[in-house]
Amino acid sequence: MQETNGKHWSGHPLKAAVAWEAGKPLVMEEVEVAPPQAMEVRLKILFTSLCHTDVYFWEAKGQTPLFPRIFGHEAGGIVESVGEGVTDLEPGDHVLPVFTGECKECRHCKSEESNMCDLLRINTDRGVMLSDGKSRFSIKGQPIYHFVGTSTFSEYTVVHVGCLAKINPAAPLDKVCLLSCGISTGLGATLNVAKPKAGSSLAIFGLGAVGLAAAEGARISGASRIIGVDLHSSRFDEAKKFGVTEFVNPNDHDKPVHEVIAEMTDGGVDRSVECTGSISAMISAFECVHDGWGVAVLVGVPSKDDSFKTNPMNFLSERTLKGTFFGNYKPRSDLPSVVEKYMNKELELEKFISHEVPFSEINKAFEYMLAKASLRCIIRMGA
């Protein structure tokens, strides 16, 4: 391991945006970032982005609050030092930290059909590192909790090696950092799970960043009709940039939205992707696909006590319902190739970025998100 220690090893005090309590503005603090332990990597974060998941847990609505905490999980950085046992990364490598991981040893990692690693699957309640149950962040001896194993709202962070995807060093980190969470989730839901054929039809429920990423996947696939479904008609103009060809606002109709879509498409769409977490949207997404071959994919995360019902004949008439986690991408194995899609100009990322702020103004990113004025806000570290 590279011998670096303390909070001044980089030549200046290390800054992190700390959430001291739920819903209160983050506070820029000087923090100590301990060296990486076994199977860990310390990296310098150059760019990070704000995702709805950060806001959700920062507000602590419906979860067990865990503060003080350093949020952030969509980011791009450079390896600064590595801990014992790390053999596939070295200082200087460009990486994307990911909220879920790939140990490469468990049954899930060895299966071609799963990306749900037993060891490193997302855990929103854990605020410490796996190896010793301790935090790598502290302020004057007080531990500061981690968030989903990444905590990228810090100039430096420590991450398990299994949660880092090594990528092409030529890729601009201020763009590809978006691939470490939401954009890959929506994109993969379409490309890896729904798998629409060229010329087919697809409905997307929810036109936030994840839904628009699903639309981007449909555009890449060559779908001829991409129907956006959202309660906010103002989102359609933005959605056109991502290939959405038609728009349906359920509030504009006096019949269930799945019936509206069935009428538009001669019996239903070939594929649908649900990106809201709403139970009614999940039901509609399933019931709007065509019998015989229709496939619906659920992406949105519902409340823990939610359930829904549908007539079993919807299954017996050969409709398929699937779920996905992180777009079915294995972080270490698959993300490098997604970055290459961007480098080869197959995938467009710039249109997902609506704002950019310096790290010192990170709370503006939260304001944009809460006002629903942002797709993704890029935060430039060290500024």
Q: Which of 103, 177, 288, 377 is catalytic?
A: 103
- Exactly one of 163, 177, 181, 377 is catalytic; which is it? 181
42 is annotated as an active-site residue: no
Report d(CA 155, CA 14) in Å as an integer.
6
Find the catalytic residue in 121, 126, 259, 367.
121
Residues 6+ apart with CB under 8 A from 371: none
Assess whether 52 carries a catalytic annotation.
yes
Active-site hit among 29, 32, 40, 74 = 74
- From the list 53, 185, 190, 276, the catalytic residue is 53
Catalytic: which of 106, 124, 246, 320? 106
Catalytic position from the list 42, 69, 73, 235: 73
Told to judge if 177 belongs to the known catalytic residues of this protein, a careful annotator would answer no
E-state strands within the chain? 14-18, 27-33, 40-49, 74-82, 94-97, 137-139, 142-144, 156-160, 164-166, 201-205, 225-229, 246-248, 271-274, 295-298, 320-323, 353-358, 376-380
Could you confirm whether 163 is annotated as catalytic?
no
Catalytic residue selected from 51, 163, 275, 377 = 51
Catalytic member of 109, 177, 275, 377: 109
Is 73 annotated in the active site? yes
Query: Cα 255 from chain centroid?
Result: 33
DSSP for 225-293, please give it.
EEEEE-S-GGGHHHHHTTT--EEE-GGG-SS-HHHHHHHHTTS-BSEEEE-S--HHHHHHHHHTBPTTT
CA-based max dimension of the chain: 67
Contact in structure between 253 and 229 (CB atoms under 8 Å):
no
Count Cα neighbours of 274 within 13 Å in the Cβ-side half-sphere. Answer: 26
Q: 94: closest CA among 44, 136, 48?
A: 44
- Alpha-carbon gap, residue 212 to 163, rounded angstroms: 25
Identify whether 53 is a catalytic site residue: yes
Selecting among 4, 52, 246, 259, the annotated active-site residue is 52
Q: Is 106 a catalytic residue?
A: yes
Q: Which residues are tagged catalytic?
A: 51-53, 73-74, 103, 106, 109, 117, 121, 181, 376
